[in-house]
Amino acid sequence: MSSLNINMELKKIYHEMGLSDEVLKLGEEAENALSERFAEIDAVAEYNQMKVLHAMQECRVAEQHFATSTGYGYNDDGRDTLEKVYARTFHTEDALVRAQITCGTHALHLALSANLRPGDELYSPVGKPYDTLEEVIGIRPSAGSLAEYGVTYAQTDLLPDGSFDWDNIRKSINERTRLVTIQRSKGYASRPTLSVDRIGELIHFVKEIKPDVLVMVDNCYGEFIETKEPSDVGADMIVGSLIKNPGGGLAPVGGYIAGKKECIERCAYRLTSPGLGKEVGASLGLNQTFFQGFFLAPTVSAGALKGAIFASYIYEKLGYKVIPGPGESRHDIIQAVELRTAEGLKSFCRGIQMAAPVDSFVTPEPWAMPGYDDEVIMAAGAFVQGSSIELSADGPLRPPYTAFFQGGLTWNHARFGILMTVEQMKKDGILSEF
Ligand SMILES: *Cc1c(COP(=O)(O)O)cnc(C)c1O
């Protein structure tokens, strides 16, 4: 088929799927403007693909590692090798990668509760952590929070321009400070996401003040976006969810913690039981999926990142505030778009939902989600429930009604999803432009 024919076919199928010529044109314009950016993303993906492949080869991954275990899960060679692959890829001494870690919040709670003791202080030098950690820490009272176990919490906010408040950080670190938590991604806040280099600078600073303090980085959404991870710049633990970047869209559940041997051992003792640690935990048939998802993760994350930048470009052009802007450097796959009204946020989410491979016919509605303070609206038609490496958008129903957009297992799908949001907002009379 000639390229002219392909273009006609493409246009035809896009029309059938609900995209108008104006919106298609906007998409083409954005893609052309971003071509250099996309070439850089491809280069990072190529490097990270080799990093994962190299680790798999060095760990001599073999077909036998796809075998499963049940019950106690003793001698599960596949599970143990997968953990070696994670450790090698992230340049850490050890890793815990388990289906028994139910989500990102669970992985973070595990890393914190395993490594803190009564009387210790947990400290965040980068402001308030992700919403669900408020109950984990006890910022909002909750049964079983760290506060109930006698662990106190302190925090220093970023300065208004997004930089670190060095003076107050120095003052806040005291004899009880045991663990410093650094969130790489902005989460539901409007602060900038931190680059691995900036995280490295911060770790260097706190370790100079207190060499034996442990540093944990919440790495959610950051994996494989740069050629380095926070574990390459001094983090004692990096933590994330397998239904985000490192699961490559294939992992149906799970979380990981990679880091120093003694930290990981404490995490394993906490996850299972003192004395049992990593020896138990059946892989329940998931080994092959976890390996394959990790193998795909660099390219899947790159496609999602292109989608985020594409969204940023288009919504800035349509007159919305976008964080980060389309020209800014990127350190995670989350794109925030301030939609200004509840109607705008709902309309955006409807567009994402309509673009989904699963449940494309349903209408997302706001609801009170466990662990979150405000009502949240979520759009996702995913193969894995709640998976946000798949095309998804969500946001709390509070001003400035920001949609947090992320994911897309393929760049083509992410691109389509964004164009569908524009089309939907146009239909709902929210965009005056068209
Ligand atoms: C997603 C996320 C979490 C929590 O992960 P869940 O899997 O939703 O529990 C924590 N921190 C950040 C920055 C996240 O993006």
- Per residue in 43-101, pLDDT (tens digit) is 999 999 999 999 999 999 999 999 999 999 999 999 999 999 999 999 999 999 999 99
Answer whether 277's CB lies under 8 Å from 73's CB: no
Site residues for ligand 1, CB cut-off 6 Å: 103-105, 108, 130, 132, 183, 185, 187, 218, 220-221, 241
- 187, pLDDT greater than 90: no
Cβ-count burial 12-38 (b if 16+ within 10 Å, e if not): eebeeebbbeebbebbeebeeebeebb
Instruction: Give me the pLDDT at residue 5, please.
Output: 85
Whole-angstrom CA distances from 100 to 12, 73, 286 are 46, 12, 11
- 372, pLDDT greater than 90: no
- 371, pLDDT greater than 70: no
Question: What's the rounded mean pLDDT across residues 248-274?
Answer: 98
- Distance from Cα 93 to the centre of ligand 1, integer Å: 24
Question: What's the rounded mean pLDDT across residues 106-115?
Answer: 98
Give the β-pairing of 402-406 and 335-338.
antiparallel
Give the residue from 330, 252, 259, 251 showing the smallest Cα distance to 295: 251
- Distance from Cα 253 to the centre of ligand 1, integer Å: 13
**Which class for 393: exposed (0-12), middle (13-18), buried (19 or more C-beta within 10 A)?**
buried
Residue range 290-323, pLDDT digits in tens: 999 999 999 999 999 999 999 999 999 999 999 9
Ligand 1, pocket-test mutation among 217, 225, 239, 241, most atoms within 8 A of CB:
241
Q: In which band, very low, low, confident or very high, does the pLDDT at 240 lie, cut at 50, 70 and 90? A: very high
Residue range 189-227, pLDDT digits in tens: 778 899 999 999 999 999 999 999 999 999 999 999 999
Q: In which band, very low, low, confident or very high, does the pLDDT at 370 lie, cut at 50, 70 and 90? A: confident
- Record the pTM: 0.95
Q: What is the DSSP letter of 327?
A: T
Rounded distance, CA 44 to CA 46, Å? 5
Beta strands in 262-391 (DSSP E): 321-323, 335-338, 367-368, 375-380
Q: Name residue, tokens 């995490």.
A: 267
Query: Of all helices (H) and strands (E), which one includes residue 246?
Result: none
- Distance from Cα 58 to the centre of ligand 1, integer Å: 31
Q: Atom 7 in ligand 1: which residue has the minimum CA distance?
A: 104
Contacts 24+ apart (CB under 8 A), 322-328: 323/186, 323/190, 323/192, 324/192, 324/193, 326/34, 326/37
3-state secondary structure of 8: helix
Q: In which band, very low, low, confident or very high, does the pLDDT at 434 lie, cut at 50, 70 and 90? A: low
Answer whether 412's CB lies under 8 Å from 391's CB: no
Instruction: Give me the pLDDT at residue 189, please.
Output: 76
Query: Of all helices (H) and strands (E), which one includes residue 155?
Result: strand 152-155
- 2, pLDDT greater than 80: no
Residue 160's contacts (CB-CB under 8 Å, 6 or more residues apart) are none
Ligand 1, pocket-test mutation among 112, 132, 392, 405, most atoms within 8 A of CB:
132
Ligand 1, pocket-test mutation among 105, 133, 388, 390, most atoms within 8 A of CB:
105
Question: What's the rounded mean pLDDT across residues 403-410?
Answer: 95
Residue range 117-162, pLDDT digits in tens: 999 999 999 999 998 999 999 999 999 999 999 999 999 999 999 9
Question: What's the rounded mean pLDDT across residues 221-243?
Answer: 98
The chain-wide mean pLDDT, for the chain, equals 96
Instruction: Give me the pLDDT at residue 192, please.
Output: 85
| Phi, psi of 97, rounded to the nearest 5 degrees | -130, 105
